[in-house]
Amino acid sequence: MHELTMAQELIRIVEDEQLRHGFEKVEVVKIKAGGFSGIDRHALDFAFQVVREGTCAAQARLELNIEPVKIVCRSCGFSMSARDAASSCPLCKSLDIALEGDSSFEIVALEVD
Amino acid sequence: MSEIKLKKDVRSRNQQQADTNRRLFRKSGLLALNILGSPGSGKTSLIEQTARRLSSKLRILVVEGDVETERDADRIRALGIDAIQFQTHGSCHLDAMMVAQSLQEVKLDKVELLIIENVGNLICPAGFDLGEDLRIVVGSTAEGADKPIKYPEMYLHADACVLNKIDLLPYVDFNIEEFEAGARQTNEKLRLFRISCTTGSGIDPWCEYLQNSYTKQHNNMR
């Protein structure tokens, strides 16, 4: 449940922005996460619903965009989504494959009133 | 309704504290390890074995992160090694603030090897930099060989992976090549060690790696 820590940080950032911009409430919090961010969508939603109570984001919705992890073949360069988990390259059958993704987790925008 | 564009790393508060921790560690010339892995993989046993071998050469301090109890710190203290127990009381990972808090009263210039054992968990601790110099993932042959590809975040930013319990290989269905290939899929640069904390096999090369890393770190400081 590290998502709870993340949700608390989200609220902290939102409240900082409220001080800076003076908006009344937040409608949408837009987040971009890398495929290796280790964030579970449902756990984050649940945690956010708990910590947003009594803040300017009490009604806010999370818009979470997770970039999928890619499998890339180090031999022939073929690349595919890691959702179709494979232990070898489907094209050249090489076992030398790599998982590519990043672990970023960023607020990219707030829709506010 | 209006939109405010941001580019804010949600982990930035942790990152700032981790950077502060790292600066402090650098200043005192110590080598800091963050030991990660699932419960029962042998993280504390690895620290015990490491402490036994290296305590005559390096001054060691161990920080034990656990959800509850002092048990792990007691195991380390029984070897005559200083240990601090940090209880997270529910939190599934250590963060940089917790590490700073547990080291508040410590004179770091007296420490040469700082070993931080994270909460046993293959997911949550991966996202939190503690300020360590080396991130070590401990796995064991009693777990599945597919763990690295199932939990890639854990291996992504690790410097070394220690596979423990190799003495059990004749008794368990564990493909060591599959495990190591999986670990390298996410992280090509990963240093791999095969050890047994029970028989002591493979502990020497692991300790050599730590000693060399310490020497490199210490020389860099000068």
Per residue in A71-103, pLDDT (tens digit) is 899 999 999 887 766 678 889 988 888 888 888
d(CA B109, nearest CA chain A) in Å: 31
Residue B122 identity: L
| Facing A38 at nearest CB: one of B7, B153, B185 | B153
- The domain that holds A77 is classified in CATH as 3.30.2320.80
Query: Across residues B152-169, what is the average pLDDT?
Result: 96
ipTM associated with this complex: 0.83
DSSP state letter for B11: T
pLDDT higher than threshold 90 for residue B149: no
Interface with A, mutate which of B6, B92, B94 (most A CBs under 10 A)? B6
Residue A63 tokens read as 């818009």
Return the CATH class of domain B12-221: alpha beta
Tens digits of per-residue pLDDT, B64-114?
Answer: 998 999 999 999 999 999 999 999 888 889 999 999 999 999 999 999 999
Q: In chain B, what are the domain boundaries?
A: 12-221
Phi/psi of residue A84, nearest 5 degrees: -90, 60
Q: Which residue of B has its CA nearest to A69?
A: B152
Phi/psi of residue B154, nearest 5 degrees: -60, -35
Q: Residue B12: CB partners within 8 Å, gap ≥ 6?
A: A9
**How many domains does chain A contain in total?**
1
CB contacts, 8 Å: B7 with chain A: 106-108
Q: What range does the domain containing A48 cover? A: 2-112
Average pLDDT over chain B, rounded to an integer: 95
Tens digits of per-residue pLDDT, A10-65?
Answer: 999 999 999 999 999 999 999 999 988 888 899 999 999 999 999 999 999 999 99
The pTM score is 0.90
